[in-house]
Amino acid sequence: MGSAAGLPGNVFLKSSGTLKTRAVLALLDLAASEVEFMTKLRPELDIESPRCYFANYDRKSCRHALVLEDVVATKAAEFCQADQPLQRGEIEDVLTLLATCHGRFWNSHRFSGDLRWLKESKTPKSFVTDFDRFLLLGRTTVSGIAKYGDLVPPRVAAAKNDIMPALWRSLDFAASGPPTVLHGDCHLGNFYRTDTGRIGVLDWQICCVGSWTFDVSYLLAACLTIESRRTWERDLIAFYLDRLRVHGGEPPPFDKAFDAYRSGLMYPLAAWMFVLNRPPMQPDMQPRELSIELVRRISTAIDDLDVLNLLETGS
């Protein structure tokens, strides 16, 4: 019994305790996705992410529970904060983790077999479509840019009505590439540092099937300072492509990959402007200072890389 039977001394319980939380999780199919990932895919991946001892989701009540490894107890983990941007080695660690996952399922025949459930249940475009339909992502993003225009570059603020059309074009652009399994929510609030210096990834509830850019674009824009992203982004895209090749993927040529990275920056801006300008029914899920900082970083990346023009003209 107990530790003699290999049971952990500490665990972390993740559940949907309130009606408001259950409603949002159910509308976007978030809890079900994480339960499916943890029970069916996590055991296949050699990555720094909590082990799962039990997970279940009840579709009738929309309640769920995951019993997870307590990484604070097992690895003295510290959770990343907005004022602690990732350093070069740390961002490479996360890119390697993503490449491990992406490479494992790159353009897999399993998406028409045992992983059909994931491809049919959630892609980036289907997720964003539901986000917009049920929670008014587009309206909240546009009104948020009008309200918090001082946080974004003037060119982006002036183009607030072009943000959602550009987002839809970016999702269509991404859908043309090879599909793989994605984390879907690569921001600092979902990362932790272990006692050995590794960066681990939490919260797989937006796990979906789509283009690698949905993860990598989000990661670089959200988790680096503006200056670090400007200095390192080309080298980091090259690093990711190399790691992807090592782990079984078939990366595109660098120039094509860099344009794909640029195009993937629209969703993170909409997502974090929504969090910052959340409607009254939306749970307060992130610290305000994190939302403000990520809106600044991501909108600056969109301006630096001329993303709106890329999605309008293709160059």
pLDDT tens digits, residue range 22-50? 888 888 889 999 999 999 999 999 999 99
Locus of tokens 């510290």? 78
Name the least confident of 58-62, 166-170, 261-265: 58-62
CA distance 29 to 122: 8
The architecture in CATH of the region 77-313 reads Alpha-Beta Complex (3.90)
CA distance 17 to 130: 22
The token pair that represents 244 in the structure block: 């992807």
Question: Which 3 state secondary structure label does DSSP give 161?
Answer: helix
CA distance 227 to 241: 22
Do the strands 63-69 and 11-15 form a parallel or antiparallel pair, or are they unpaired?
antiparallel
- According to the model, what pLDDT value does residue 315 have? 64
Domain limits of the chain? 77-313
CA distance 245 to 253: 12
CA distance 125 to 129: 6
- According to the model, what pLDDT value does residue 175 have? 86
Which burial class, exposed, middle or buried, applies to 43 when counting CB atoms under 10 A from its CB (0-12, 13-18, 19+)?
exposed
pLDDT above 60 for 1: no
The token pair that represents 82 in the structure block: 């907005």
pLDDT tens digits, residue range 78-100? 999 877 889 999 999 999 999 99
* pTM of the predicted protein model: 0.94
Residue 287 confidence class, pLDDT cut points 50, 70, 90: confident
Question: Phi and psi of 185, rounded to 5°?
Answer: -150, 60
Question: Phi and psi of 69, rounded to 5°?
Answer: -55, 135
Question: Which 3 state secondary structure label does DSSP give 210?
Answer: strand
Q: What is the 3-state secondary structure (H, E, C) of 80-142?
A: CCCCCCCCHHHHHHHHHHHHHHHHHCCCCHHHHCCCHHHHHHCCHHHHHHHHHHHHCHHHHHH
pLDDT tens digits, residue range 124-176? 999 999 999 999 999 999 999 999 999 999 999 999 999 999 999 999 988 88
CA distance 44 to 266: 31
Question: Which 3 state secondary structure label does DSSP give 45?
Answer: coil
Which is higher by pLDDT, 208 or 279?
208
Number of Cβ within 10 Å of residue 183's Cβ equals: 26
Q: At residue 150, what is the residue type?
A: D
